Chains A and B, each alone.
Chain A
Amino acid sequence: METEKYNNTPQEPTISLTVNGQMHTLKVEPWVSLLDALRDHLQLTGTKKGCDHGQCGACTVLVDGKRINACMTLAIMRDGAEITTVEGLSQGQDLHPLQQAFIDHDAFQCGYCTPGQLCSAIGLMQEGKAKTLAEVQDLMSGNICRCAAYSNINAAICEVMGIENRGGSL
C-alpha cells in the first residue's frame, strides 16, 4: 500500500480535554476519534458507540456547549475543548431533571442510546429552536432508539421543557 511510507512513525502529540469539568492531558495519535479517546483512553464508557459513522447518535456529547457525534471528530481536533458527557450531567448523586424525567417516563429500555439521547436533548434545550413536539421530534431524530422508546423520550423532554406533549403518555 502506497501510503505506508508516510506512516511508519506514529505522531503522538499531547492534547488536553476538559471533560465534565476535569482537565485531562493525554497522548493520542491523530487517528483516535473523540469517542474512542473518551471510551478507551479516559475510560468514560458512558458515551456509546453504536455505528461509528454518525448514523445513530449514541455517541452524542456536548463540545463547547454544542451537541455533536463524538465518533465523527478526532480527539486532536478538539484539543482544549470543554466536553460534557453523560457522566457529567448529575450533580454528585443528584440527577439532572432530564435524567429523572427519563426514569419517570420510562424513556429507555436497553439503555444503550440513553446517554446520547440525554446529551442530545440537553443540546436541544440549549439551542432553543424547538417550541413544539413536532420540532422536538425532528431535532431529536439524530438519536436512534432501536427499542423505540421515542414516545417516552418525548414525554420526558417535553416535561422538562414545558412543551405540550400530545404524543400520548403514561
Chain B
Amino acid sequence: MNRITYSKATDVRDAIQEHSKTDKAQYIAGGTNLLDLMKVNVMRPAHLVDINKIGFDFIEQEADGGLRLGASVTNADTAYHQHVQQHYPLLAEAMLSAASAQLRNMATNGGNIMQRTRCYYFYDTSTACNKREPGSGCSAINGYNRMHAILGTSADCIAVHPSDMAVALRALDAVVCVEGPSGKREIPMEAFHRLPEDKPDQDNTLAADEVITSIKLPPSKYAKHYSYLKLRDRPSYAFALVSVAAALNLDEQQHVLEASIALGGVAHKPWRMPEAEALLIGKPATAANFRMAADMLLSTAQGYGHNNFKIELARRAIVRALEQAVNKQATL
C-alpha cells in the first residue's frame, strides 16, 4: 500500500475540490474494496477523500413514488430499510445475499456498484492484466477462467462485475445520480457499467472526479413476483458464479405483463436483453416459455474453457428464478 494522505470532505463540492488537488486522489466511502485492492498494490491512490459525511446518508421517497437511496447509506441499512423490504424486495434479497453481515455494515450503496472485478489476475500484480495494467495482456483468456464472463467479452478482458446489488438495480431500472466539477448528471444503470472492449481498465462511465450521490429507484412494480437467485461455491460469503434477478408482473391468468431479467456473474456489467424479456410478454408464465427467454438471453454466450458450464448454469438459473418469481406470492 502506498503512503497516503487523507481528508474528510464536508459536502460534495468540498469533496470534488479535495479530489482535484492531486491527480492521484480517490474517493473512499466504505473502503471494503478500495482498501482491499490498495493492500495488494493494485490500486495506488496518493490521497483519499472520505465522502462518508457529505450529506448522502438518507433514504427518501420521491414525488413520483420512487425511492432515492443515498450513496453513503450502508448496504445493511438499505437492505433492511422497511420501505426497501416492502417495495423493492428484489433489491433487499440481492443485497443480503452479498458478502457478510460485517461487510454489509461498512459497504455503501455508491461503493457497491463501484466494486471492481474479483478476477484472480487483476488481483495479482505478478500477472498480466489489461484491466490493471492496460496493454499487459489478459491472463484469464488462456488461464483459469472458471469465474469469468460468457457474455460481452472482448479479446482484452473477460472479467465479470461482482456486485449482487447492481444486478438487482439493473433489473429495476435504477438511475445513478452523480455530481462532478461540471455539475450533476444522471446515468441509467444500463449505461453505468460498460463492456470491456479495448478499454477494460474502465469499469464504468463515471469520471474519476465524479461522486455518486444517490441511486434513484423508479416507482415499485415488482414487489410481488421477484427472485434473486445466486449460485456460488458455498452457501454464504462467496461471490456469484451466476446470479439472476428476475421480476415479473402477471395478470390473473398468470400471463406475463412485464418481465425483467438481469444476470450477474456472466459479464463485465449486469446483463439484460430487452428482446428476451419482450418474448415473454403476453405469454403464460411457464417453464417452457422461460426456457425460450433464457435461450435468447444466452444466444451469444461463449465459454473460455473452465467457465463453459456457466452457459448451461445460467440457462437453468434463469428458468428457476422466473419460476421462483411466479411462485413467490404463495409464500407471502
A residues bordering B, Cβ < 8 Å? 1-3, 6-8, 10-11, 13, 29-31, 33, 52-54, 57, 60, 66-69, 71-74, 76-77, 120, 123-124, 127, 129, 137-143
Q: Is the CB of A7 within 8 A of B4?
A: yes
Residue in A60, A72, A73, A74 whose CB lies within 8 Å of B6: A74
A69 to B24, CA, bound (A): 26
Partner pick for A3 among B2, B28, B106, CB 8 A cutoff: B2
| CB of B32 within 8 Å of the partner chain | yes
The residue on A at minimum CB distance from B236 is: A141
B residues bordering A, Cβ < 8 Å?
1-6, 22, 24, 28, 30-32, 35-36, 39-40, 44, 46-48, 50, 52, 76, 80, 99-103, 105-106, 235-237
Let me know if B101 and A67 touch, CB within 8 A. yes
Q: List 13 A-B contacts (CB under 8 A).
A: A3-B46, A11-B5, A11-B6, A30-B5, A30-B6, A30-B48, A31-B1, A54-B99, A54-B102, A72-B103, A140-B101, A142-B102, A142-B103
Minimum distance in angstroms from A13 CB to a CB of chain B: 8
Q: How far is the CA of A72 from the CA of B40 in the complex (A)?
A: 13
> In the complex the two chains form, is B39's CB within 8 Å of A69's CB?
no
> Are B31 and A77 closer than 8 Å at their CB atoms?
yes
**B237 / chain A contacts, CB cutoff of 8 Å:** 141-142
Q: How many A-B residue pairs have CB under 8 A?
A: 108
A120 and B30 alpha carbons, distance in the complex (Å): 18
Given A3-B24, A77-B52, decide whether A67 and B105 contact each other with a Cβ distance below 8 A: yes
Partner of A142, one of B22, B31, B100: B100
B31 touches A73 (CB 8 A): yes
Residues of B close to A67: CB separation below 8 A: 101-102, 105
> Measured between C-beta atoms, what is the minimum distance from A33 to chain B in Å?
7
A76-B6 in contact (CB<8A):
yes
Task: Check if B35 sits within 8 Å of A74, measured CB to CB.
Answer: yes
Q: Is the CB of A69 within 8 A of B106?
A: yes
**Are B101 and A72 in contact, with the CB atoms below 8 A?**
no
B3 in contact with A7 (CB, 8 Å): yes
With A6-B22, A69-B32, A72-B36 as given contacts, are A139 and B101 in contact (CB-CB < 8 Å)?
yes
Which chain A residues border B103 with CB–CB below 8 Å?
A: 54, 68-69, 72, 142
The CA of A2 and the CA of B46, in the complex, are separated in Å by 10
Q: Which residues of B contact A74 (CB under 8 A)?
A: 6, 28, 31, 35, 48
Contact (Cβ within 8 A) B32 A72? yes
Using CB atoms, name the residue of chain A closest to B34.
A72
Is B39 within 8 A of A52, CB to CB? yes
A80 CB → nearest B CB, Å: 11
Cβ contact within 8 Å between B28 and A7: no
Q: Contact check, A33 vs B35: say whether CB atoms are below 8 A apart.
A: yes
Q: Are A142 and B99 in contact (CB under 8 A)?
A: yes
Q: Among the listed A6, A53, A57, A60, which residue makes an inter-chain contact with B5, where contact means beta carbons less than 8 Å apart?
A: A6
Q: What's the Cα separation between A96 and B144 when bound, in Å? A: 47
Let me know if B105 and A6 touch, CB within 8 A. Answer: no
Which residue of chain A has the shortest Cβ distance to B96 in the bound complex? A138
Cα–Cα, bound, A74→B237 (Å): 23
* Chain A residues, CB < 8 A from B1: 31
Contact of B100 among A7, A137, A141 (CB under 8 A): A141
Q: Is the CB of B101 within 8 A of A7?
A: no
Q: How far is the CA of A60 from the CA of B28 in the complex (A)?
A: 20
- Contact assessment for B236 and A73 in the assembled complex, using a CB-CB cutoff below 8 Å: no
A6 touches B102 (CB 8 A): no
Q: How far is the CB of B217 from chain A (nearest CB, A)?
A: 22
Name the B residues within 8 Å of A138 (CB-CB). 235-236
How distant is the Cα of A141 from the Cα of B278 in the complex, in angstroms? 39
Residues of B within 8 A of A3 (CB): 2-3, 24, 44, 46
A85 to chain B, nearest CB (A): 14
A60-B104 Cα distance, complex, nearest whole Å = 13
